[in-house]
Chains A and B, each alone.
Chain A
Amino acid sequence: DTAVSQTPKYLVTQMGNDKSIKCEQNLGHDTMYWYKQDSKKFLKIMFSYNNKELIINETVPNRFSPKSPDKAHLNLHINSLELGDSAVYFCASSQVSGVNSPLHFGNGTRLTVT
């Protein structure tokens, strides 16, 4: 049973296109996140949602639009893709912030923009 699943695993697309990455968690967690890992492996938070409500938006370009239809899903839509958007995008979830509910990560989506 996959706790946090994201699709697709790989995404190759051309500049200017619009694409979406989907994320679902079956852990019953209230909070979900999107993290971006760049080519140097640096992980940085992009967004977090708690019970469908946006609580963190880390100065991400507005070409990136997260959508949470319910607390088990947090999708990421990216408009007008740029070369610099190439990265691995991780979805994660937690019950509440803290040590008793650390983040559970999905397996990542490798986005390549050509």
Chain B
Amino acid sequence: AQTVTQSQPEMSVQDAETVTLSCTYDTSENNYYLFWYKQPPSRQMILVIRQEAYKQQNATENRFSVNFQKAAKSFSLKISDSQLGDTAMYFCAFMNPPDKLIFGTGTRLQVFP
């Protein structure tokens, strides 16, 4: 069974600084997708970034980028120039189509002024 592990329950960063959130996963599949979702205090689940396992190039979305290490089964999220609005729970998620999306336990990120 696939599992997703986020080893950092909480992280904090000062605004304008860079922070990296860790995620590892376990699977025997070769074709899968990885996601980072953000859940601010409003409770809404917002897709931050996504990565196809067959692509070696790391995905980037503005200030958000990933470090995808397929052999190590690692998928970390880097947030550059952190902003107060980045304060949220961040969930790493794994999907082996057409199966379900499996979430990690989340990392609570606090951005301080």
Contact = CB atoms under 8 A, between A and B. Distances in A.
B111 interface: no
Contacts of A58: 100
Contact of B45 (A40, A55, A90, A110): A90
Nearest to A98: B97
A97 interface: yes
Given A90-B45, A105-B44, A105-B45, A97 B95 contact: yes
Interface residues of A, number: 25
Nearest to B51: A99
A102 B50 contact: yes
Contact of B105 (A42, A45, A55, A88): A42
B100 A98 contact: no
B100 A45 contact: yes
A107 B43 contact: yes
A58 B106 CA distance: 21
Nearest to B97: A97
A40 B35 CA distance: 20
Interface of B: 33, 35, 39, 42-45, 47, 50-52, 89, 91, 95, 97-103, 105-106
Given A96-B98, A104-B47, A108-B44, 20 more contacts: A40-B105, A41-B89, A41-B105, A41-B106, A43-B103, A43-B106, A45-B101, A56-B99, A97-B98, A97-B99, A98-B33, A98-B95, A99-B51, A99-B52, A102-B33, A103-B101, A105-B44, A107-B42, A107-B43, A108-B45
Interface of A: 33, 40-45, 48, 55-56, 58, 88, 90, 92, 96-99, 102-105, 107-108, 110
